[in-house]
Amino acid sequence: MTLIFTFIQQAIGQGIAILFGATGEIMTEKSGNLNLGIPGIMYMGGIAGLMGAFFYENHAKEPVAAIGFVVALLSTLIVSMFGGLIYSFLTISLRSNQNVVGLALTTFGVGFGNFFGGSISKMAGGVGQISVKTTAGAFRASIPGLSQIPVIGPLLFSYGILTYVALILALATTFILFRTRRGLHLRAVGESPATADAAGIDVTKYKYAATVGGAAIAGLGGLYFVMEYLGGTWSNNGFGDRGWLAVALVILALWNPAHAIWGSLVFGALYILYIYLPGLTRATQELVKMLPYVVTIIVLIITSKRNKPENQPPASLGTVYFREER
Amino acid sequence: MSTPAIELKNVTKRFGSVIANDNVNLTLEQGEILSILGENGSGKTTLMNMLSGIYYPDEGQIFVGGREVSIQSPKDSFELGIGMIHQHFKLIDVLSAAENIILGLQGEEILKMQEVYAKINELTAKYGFDLDPKEKIYNMSVSQKQTVEIVKVLYRGADMLILDEPTAVLTPQEIQKLFTVLRNMRQAGKSIIIITHKLNEVMELSDRVAVLRKGRYIGCVETAKTSISELTEMMVGEKISLDIHRSQPQDAHKRIEMRGITVRNKEGVRMLNKASFVANSGEILGIAGVAGSGQKELLEAIAGLQETETGGEILYYAPTGETLKLTEMTAENIRNLGIHLSFVPEDRLGMGLVGSMDLTDNMMIRSYRETGHFFAHRKAPRELAEQIVEKLDVVTPGVDTPISHLSGGNVQKMLVGREIAAQPIVLMVAYPVRGLDINSSYTIYNLLNEQKEKGVAVICVGEDIDVLLALCDRIMVMSGGNITGVVDAKSTTKEEIGLMMTGATKEKADHES
């Protein structure tokens, strides 16, 4: 029984970073921008938050948890939005190829993370020596009282604040996309920019807003990873391929952030399943690690067979919009 | 008389050296249905696009409700109460009708769809539309999509509606429904312009008819006081004689025979209805008809690019005496028989040529299989490209230039030249002179004539009746997917073809003219 509890807790811990990434990517993709730079942006967001906290804690005589929290949060948001802005400027304003820009941004972002991660590790005195205990403590603090309830407490209320932010953001993004005027306009932009343009919607503005906003949300996934999951430290390439899992989760969730919530749990569970399955050899472990991707492929096959238009990617996804080409 | 809803005075619009609208005057009275009649390319849509804010007139004035206005954008047009329903719907498939209708409108941030539904239902009840606001666009028929477009402009409060070829894609029953709705709207005081080339609909629906021909305003008549033949005459005008060399067909043999071919598009609409005809060798068979009457489907059915319904067959009588069923063959095999199709689409590129590839590569698209081994030969296609450039006077810096850098006429010469170079036995060309200047057009006409003299069976789909009359030996006329008749190009009249294009059969056309 406790094993199952631990498994679920661990799965949630794995899933939240992916959920942030997927929510951000869904918002971006709904504007027709296929931002494959999201994995890189998550690295950038993570390292930025860590650096913010690190420099604050190193310079303040007595670091205050709340200030460290705000500094880390702002650093993450600014840097990841900057990543989104680079992508937007290149693909929307300069009309470069989205795939090329996205992949370049991911390569850049991973390098950015590892470079600064390595640098501050050196400043801190060696690999694994970074510690921003005070700030990480603020991120890790669980809800007092509620988390003490037996069974339900550890299962539902034992997580840091970003876990709940991830859930709220996913639900709020769903609401904005499907229930508000701006959401309707954004979906229209992603489906057919020419039609949206003719209806008087500012296509460029919506694309920029969704892409930069989406990058900010995805960046929080990186922050979650370094603060809550790792507890305020850095290991090079430690974030692994979670960013790509986030991109895959977008497909599994059929471009609906609310679906991404349970999807992230499934992905999180499959991601760590190999630890809990007895009798796996090193080789079979690797096979089990493939499961999230296998599930994504199966979902792709099923949805393309059923061919329901709502479950398809936004029609203009991956293409740049030229008004003159009408 | 009350102030006219819309008045155009001396409006002129040019695209480069082409005059699309030349000094047009037009008045739309309040609460009337005005038809704008004209052939393809007569400038109807351009004229209306100046009212909907897509184009801006080069000269002339526009008055709306007696006040001179300057319509710079679709938004301006909409604010004046003008709503245009384009031929190509601007709707988003995955959204519902209601979502499409409110798209782009300002208002409360959180959508109250119930209120939107109620308002739409009120409109549909008032005018007699049949529309479920919750239905997704992708589940809708063409006629329902059109309904959404009309409700969209009404929802935004338009009281002047312009419909561009609204009946082109509808079934007869749907057309009647649309007319009922339009009459209801006229009753409610809306002013309506419909752009059309179908005479019977003009007679049935409109109060007045304005006729355009080749960009010029010919006149405006009251429907009650005119006749189909008078309108046809206004529409097609005098015959213009073109000096195209035409030789007598020599030694004509049956080459292609189509028997009862039916083609449906993906919406299930019949694009070609039990078509049967014969094309002979050593002859140019012209196909006349307004765009979208099934010409493209007909050619593609022969080329093996269209699924045809069972029951029909297309036979090919090879020069060797064999008879083959094309309906049972793949496009590639048909091509290998020497049956070539060159279709010049509206954007010229896109069908058969790749814009970013150079001339040589574009020649290779057709021939790369010929060498039979892994590495393609570039020498032969290069020589071919050079030959075509020289023979047809293609203006290009060289054969290594991307084809999209060439002007339209030169692109077309390459396209047609490539097909001819393959020494076809049957050559099908669609709109070969689309957008070309006179000299380039004549080069193409001469090429087609040369092919005919060599004994090739040429099928040519054209837009300009004068050209078809001067170039072809026989002319087949199509209307709404039906073949309305085949006439001898030397003895027929423009009026006869004009009438047949609007759906009258040959017998009826003979009777009328």
B130 and B227 in a single domain? The answer is: yes
End-to-end CA distance of chain B: 37
What average pLDDT does range B44-68 have in this prediction?
A: 90
In this predicted structure, which of A217-226, B131-140, B165-174 has the lowest mean pLDDT? B165-174
User: What burial class does residue B254 get, using C-beta atoms within 10 Å of its C-beta: 0-12 exposed, 13-18 middle, 19+ buried?
Assistant: middle
- CA-based nearest residue in chain A for residue B104: A199
Average pLDDT over residues B93-118: 93
Is A181's CB within 8 Å of B90's CB?
no
> Which of B52, B91, B94 best probes binding to A when mutated, by most A CB atoms within 10 angstroms?
B94
Q: Looking at B187, B212, B236, which one is the last position of a domain? A: B236
The verdict on B288 and B221 lying in the same domain is no
pLDDT for the residue B42: 79
Residue B296 belongs to some domain of the structure: yes
Q: Which residue has the higher pLDDT, B481 or B367?
A: B481
Residues of chain A contacting B108 with CB distance shorter than 8 Å: 181
Say if B190 falls within a structural domain: yes
Q: Measure Cα distances from A6 to A12, A15, A156, B334, B389 in Å.
A: 10, 14, 12, 67, 75
**Which chain B positions have a beta carbon within 8 Å of A187's beta carbon?**
92, 94-95
ipTM of predicted complex? 0.88
Whole-angstrom distance, CA of residue B272 vs CA of residue B287: 14
Q: Is the pTM of this model over 0.80?
A: no
Residues of B in contact with A196 (CB under 8 A): 92, 103-104
**Is residue B285 pLDDT above 90, yes or no?**
yes
**B111 with A312: Cβ contact below 8 A:** no
pLDDT for residue A11? 93
CA nearest A313 in B: which residue?
Answer: B94
Mind listing the pLDDT tens digit for each residue in A283-305? 888 888 888 889 888 887 887 77
Which residues on chain A are in Cβ contact (under 8 Å) with B102? Answer: 181, 184
* pLDDT at residue A326 in the model: 37
Query: Distance, in angstroms, between A128 CA and closest chain B CA?
Result: 48
Q: Say if residue B150 is in the same domain as residue B90.
A: yes
**Do B54 and B107 belong together in one domain?**
yes
Q: Is the pLDDT of residue B116 over 90?
A: yes
DSSP classification of residue A223: H
Q: Which percentage of chain A shows pLDDT scores above 70?
A: 99
Contact A195 B91 (CB under 8 A): yes
CB contact (8 A) between residue A185 and residue B103? yes
Q: Which of B201, B236, B271 is the last residue of a domain?
A: B236
Phi, psi of B60 (to 5 degrees): 100, 175
Give the pLDDT score at A158.
85
Residue B103 with chain A: CB contacts under 8 Å: 184-185, 188, 195-196, 199, 201
Question: Which CATH class for the A2-325 domain?
Answer: mainly alpha
Residues in B closer than 8 angstroms to A179, CB to CB, are: 110-111
Q: Residue A36 is encoded by which pair of tokens?
A: 């494959």
Statement to judge: residues B155 and B41 lie in one domain: yes
Number of domains in chain B: 2
Mean pLDDT of A194-214: 93
In B, which residues are within 8 Å of A194 by CB distance? 90
CB atoms within 10 A of CB B369: 10
Within 8 A of B109 by CB-CB distance, chain A residues are 180-182
DSSP-derived secondary structure for B336-350:
HTTEEEEE--TTSSS
| SS3 label, residue B255 | strand
Contact: B103, A182; criterion CB under 8 Å:
no
More confident residue, B89 or B421: B89
Residue B346 distance to chain A (closest CA, Å)? 13
Residue at B134 is within a domain = yes
Alpha helices in A180-202 (DSSP H): 181-191, 193-198
Domain locations along chain A? 2-325
Mean pLDDT of A217-224: 97
Token pair of A12 as six digits: 């949630």
Of the partner residues B91, B95, B107, the one whose CB lies closest to the CB of residue A181: B107
Q: Which of A317-326, B47-56, B453-462 has the lowest mean pLDDT?
A: A317-326
B95 with A187: Cβ contact below 8 A: yes
Chain A residues with CB under 8 Å of a chain B CB are: 179-182, 184-185, 187-188, 191-192, 194-196, 198-201, 309-310, 312, 315
pLDDT for position B344: 64
CB contact under 8 A, A191 and B93: yes
The answer to whether residue B469 is domain-embedded is yes
- Whether residue B268 is predicted with pLDDT greater than 90 in this model: the reply is no
Residue B103 to residue A184, Cβ atoms within 8 A: yes
Look at B184-188, B212-216, B298-302, B375-379 and tell me which has the smallest mean pLDDT: B375-379
Q: Which of A253, A190, A224, A243 is nearest to A29 (CA)?
A: A190
| Same-domain status, B231 and B306 | no
**Burial (CB count within 10 angstroms: exposed 0-12, middle 13-18, buried 19+), residue A214:** buried
Exposed, middle or buried, B246 (CB in 10 Å: 0-12/13-18/19+)? middle
Say whether A181 and B111 touch across the interface (CB within 8 A): yes
Residue B239 has pLDDT above 70, yes or no: no
* Shared-domain flag, residues B113 and B257: no
- Give the model confidence (pLDDT) of B190-226 as tens digits: 999 999 877 778 888 999 999 988 888 988 999 999 8
Q: Across the interface, do A195 and B107 touch by the CB < 8 Å criterion? A: no
Q: How far apart are CA B163 and CA B187, in angstroms?
A: 17
Residue B309 domain flag: yes
Would you call B104 and A192 a contact, using CB atoms and an 8 Å cutoff? no
How many whole angstroms separate alpha carbon B371 and alpha carbon B377?
7
Are both B310 and B190 inside the same structural domain?
A: no
Looking at the partner chain, which of B91, B104, B136 has a beta carbon nearest the beta carbon of A200? B104
State the CATH number of the domain containing residue B85: 3.40.50.300
Please indicate, yes or no, whether residues B103 and B127 belong to a single structural domain of this protein.
yes
Report the first-to-last Cα separation within chain A, whole angstroms: 61
- Answer yes or no: do B103 and A199 touch at CB < 8 A: yes
Q: Do A195 and B90 touch (CB under 8 A)?
A: yes
* Percent of chain B predicted with pLDDT > 90: 30
> DSSP string of B134-148?
TSBGGG--HHHHHHH
Asked if B94's CB is within 8 angstroms of A181's CB, the reply is no
Q: Return the pLDDT at B490.
A: 87
| Any domain includes B450 | no
Question: In this structure, what token pair is assigned to residue B323?
Answer: 């008879």
Record: contact B110-A312, CB cut-off 8 A: no
DSSP state of B470: H
Three-class DSSP labels, B49-105:
HHHCCCCCCCEEEEEECCEEECCCCHHHHHHCCEEEECCCCCCCCCCEHHHHHHCCC
> How far is A211 from A31, CA to CA, in rounded Å?
8
Chain B residue numbers touching A195 (CB-CB < 8 A): 90-92, 103
For the cut 80, the answer to whether the pLDDT of residue B384 exceeds it is yes
Whether residue B252 is found in the same domain as residue B224: no
Residues on chain A touching B107 (C-beta within 8 angstroms): 181
Q: Which of B95, B114, B116, B155 to mutate to test the interface with A (most CBs of A within 10 A)?
A: B95
Interface residues of chain B, partner chain A, Cβ below 8 Å: 74-75, 90-95, 99, 102-111, 136, 138
Q: Which residues on adjacent β-strands are paired with residue B63?
A: B7, B68
Name the closest residue on chain B to residue A326, using Cα atoms. Answer: B54
Q: Identify the top-confidence range among A120-129, A134-143, A173-182, B353-362.
A: A173-182
Is the pLDDT at B343 greater than 70? The verdict is no
Domain span at B505: 248-338+459-513
Residue B370 lies in a domain: no
Subunit contact B90:A199, Cβ cutoff 8 A: yes
Any domain includes B207: yes
Gap from A209 CA to chain B (nearest CA, Å): 16
Residue B232 sits in the same domain as residue B255: no
Separation CA B457–CA B469 (nearest Å):
17
Record: contact A199-B136, CB cut-off 8 A = no
Q: Identify the residue with better confidence: A232 or B87.
A: A232
Mean pLDDT for the stretch of residues A32-41? 96
Contacts of B94 in chain A (CB under 8 A): 187, 191, 309-310, 312, 315
